[in-house]
Structure 1
Amino acid sequence: MIRHYRQFVDQRRTHRPSEEYREPSDSEWQDFRDHFSLRKVALGTCDRPYGTPCQHEHACIRCPMLRLDLAQEPRLLEIEVNTRQRLGEAQRMQWLGEVAGLQESLRHIADKKQQAQRLRAQTGEGEDGVTSLG
């Protein structure tokens, strides 16, 4: 499989312009490094590929590219409480656009909570963050 993959890559390279395989400039390297240092966000890490813009305008809670850090789950729960409070206010004030947006955010928060449960199950951590001995 590895041999076939390498053959595939070598064959693809023969069809690509040679200037694509030049050494990157210092500013290109810096831009590449900056991309990865800027991926760390409050709830975890953004897995957005290099060179792609943030489609969610940094509303990470709604983004499928957010890889949740289990240590930040309490922050996620605080965001949920705050969002529910804001939803209550928006409903009382009849800010229907705000209601719709906050309800959408709550759906994504629920998804992130499920992601946290799956991550805990994969890592063998309990809800208190302690790794099981079993």
Structure 2
Amino acid sequence: MTFPGIEHDPQAPQVNPDMLAVEERRREREAEYGVWVAVQDIPWGTVLAAIPGMPVPASTVERLKWNELGLVAKRDSKAGREVLERTGTATTEERQRWAEQDKAAAEKAAAAAEKPAAKTRTTTTTTTTEGAR
């Protein structure tokens, strides 16, 4: 939090405008390249624009509708995860998040498997012979 007049305080830490610009550019690049990943080779003329696992700019996906053509998938989707794992291009954070999700899913499945076994009841039926009252 900044206080009024802090810009005139010689003791206050100075903000480097170049570092602010660099950080802003990094955020923009992350937003542009952090959403979509190629799931197959994407040709552009006679060259490849992207190969599986490669980040694809969001503006290009929107403009050329590559998501509707099945050429790209969101990084956090099932198809995106599969291609990132297969190509080894997932980030460390993604791998850690997936490990946590897989562990939680395994624990949930184990709990669900134990629940029906604990709730099993036996019922008895009696049959009467015909004519006995």
Question: TM-score band (shorter)?
Answer: under 0.3
TM-score, scaled relative to structure 2: 0.28
Which structure has greater strand proportion? 2
Higher Cα Rg: structure 1 or 2?
2
